Structure 1
Amino acid sequence: MSFASISSPAEQQHAPHTHRHRLLEGMAQAVAAKGYAATTIADIVREAAVSRRTFYEYFNTKGDCLIALYTAASHNALDVLRNAIDPSRDWHEQVESAMTAYFDCLAQNPVLMRTLFIEILGLGPGGLAARRQVNEEIAAFMLKVINEHASAPRRRTPLSADMAMAVVGGINELILQAIEQDRLGDLRMLTAPAIELVYAVTRE
């Protein structure tokens, strides 16, 4: 599964050729080829093989389309984390598997990932709200795994929502730093510090 993917396999099975899905795919392809700044609505509709009128049935601006792409791609990355968790396996193996799969997923399309992580910050309240929503969903997933899975270490007190968000924020900052330093080719190197961070919050 790639960070460039727009919908989960189940969603693709039910609606593989919807116009909205095609527009998001078109945006992803255009951004990967040209970058966000150079991408135009004409590029998006050409890649999606739909009309400009169809674009405006779903989105008001190019930025709105990018926000939708960010949300869809982030949900796919979250699905990667969910699918890597297997309560029957050792806790440490699960964490290592999940973090490795997550960073591998992000690294599959460096140009798109750079666009989604950086440009979303400049899209105003809508972009920031989408980013916050995604981060909250990842933090909620982390809380569920750490506090409820039988294989997770037992804490005297449950992990708090604030601490889960702090972990998500820390991992995001590592990714942003890698983007700024043009180290996306070495993104998997972030797996080790991310794992160490998760281990740190599961200990008391």
Structure 2
Amino acid sequence: MKPKSTPGAPSVPHEHRARLLQAMAAVAAEQGLAAASIAAVVARAGVSKRTFYEHFADKDACFLALYRAASASALRTLRESVQPERPWQDQVEHALGAYLAHLAAGPELIRMLFVEIHHLGPAGAAVRREVMQHLADYMLDTINACGVVLSPTMAMAAVGGIHELVLQSIERGEAAQLEALTPTASAVVRLLAGAPPACGNQKANSPPGRAV
């Protein structure tokens, strides 16, 4: 008789995939992606190479899945930090602060992800653009909730600028202090968005939008 599964418990394949991603994060952060081997990843995860290949075609595919997963986690933090009753300028600053603090909480992982993604050629560029588009979509949803203020082009320009600020801090060895970029990142967004429109659903006692 088979044992009953616990409701909500992850399936074994899902658990193996999660362990492999965690192992990839640890091994690549310690050794760099070029030096990291599948043998080291499976040893860290406690699974077989056969299990690895059931989930990923190769080492790069595993890394790209890790990049997507880490980016999705940071984006969830961003979206969960939205305070729709406040002016969009304050919403964006608050959310960006939470986003950058989330990144700074794992400086070794973020340093590795932001740097190594540029070494994976067209596949890495495609996934990086995908993640940047998700961030740009967040900005469009948040800022344009009261009317069109930010264009898709300017949203992507803002995301690109913020990513470059993050990468510059990482290269300076300041990955653990990314939250300090919040005022600058917010100013970039406000500058590209221009003046906010009046929004009827804002509370009367909401603080005014900040000028750039």
Contact kept, 8 Å, 1:31 with 1:111, in 2: the verdict is no
Whole-Å separation in 2 of the counterparts to 1:39 and 1:130:
20
Counterpart Cα distance in 2 of 1:136 and 1:64: 20
Report the TM-score when normalising by structure 1: 0.83
Which amino acid in the other structure matches residue 177 of structure 2?
A: D
Matches within 5 A, 1:21-36: 21-36=18-33
2-structure distance, mates of 1:74, 1:129: 14
Structure 1 unmatched ranges of 5 or more? 1-12
Residue 111 in structure 1 maps to residue 90 in structure 2? no
Could you tell me which residue of structure 2 aligns to residue 60 of structure 1? Answer: 57
How big is the shift at 1:31?
2.6
**Aligned equivalent of 2:150, options 159, 173, 176:** 159
Contact 1:35 1:115 in 2 (8 A): yes
> Secondary structure of the equivalent of 2:35?
coil
CA-CA distance at 1:185 after TM superposition: 3.0
Matched with 1:202 is 193
Residue among 5, 10, 19 paired with 1:15: 10
Instruction: Give how far 1:56 is off.
Output: 1.0
Distance 1:37 1:30, change over 3 A: same
The 5-angstrom pairing of residues 162-181 of structure 1 reads 162-181=153-172
The equivalent position to 2:43 in structure 1, one of 33, 41, 46, is 46
User: What is the rounded CA distance, in whole Å, between the counterparts of 1:16 and 1:98 in structure 2?
Assistant: 33
Q: Give the alignment's TM-score, normalised by structure 2.
A: 0.80
Tell me if structure 1 keeps the 8 A contact 2:100–2:182.
Answer: yes
Distance 1:34 1:163, change over 3 A: same
Q: Is the 8 A contact 1:178 1:184 kept in 2?
A: yes
Q: 1:14 to 1:162 in 2, by over 3 A?
A: farther
Point out the more displaced range, 53-62 or 130-139.
53-62
Q: Is the 8 A contact 2:88 2:143 kept in 1?
A: no
Letter in 2 for 1:48: A
Task: State the one-letter code of the partner of 2:158.
Answer: V
Runs ≥4 in structure 1, deviation > 3 angstroms?
A: 13-17, 32-35, 89-93
Q: Distance in 1 between matches of 2:111 and 2:11?
A: 26
> Cα distance, 1:14 vs. partner?
6.3
**Deviation per CA, 1:83-111, whole angstroms, max 9, x where unpaired?**
00021234443222211111111111111
RMSD: 1.8
How many angstroms does 1:198 deviate by?
A: 1.7
Q: What is the count of residue pairs matched by the alignment?
A: 186
Instruction: Find the aligned partners of 1:61 and 1:119 in 2 and give their Cα distance.
Output: 16
Match for residue 121 of structure 1?
118
The separation in 1 between residues aligned to 2:18 and 2:188, in whole angstroms, is 35
Counterpart secondary structure, 1:76: helix
Question: For residues 109-168 of structure 1, what are the alpha-carbon distances to aligned partners after superposition, in whole Å with 9 as ceiling and x for unaligned?
Answer: 1111111111111111111100000101110111111111x4xxx5xx542110000000
Q: Which deviates the most, 193-202 or 92-101?
A: 92-101
1:9 paired residue number: none
SS in 2 for 1:159: coil
Identity of aligned residues (%): 47
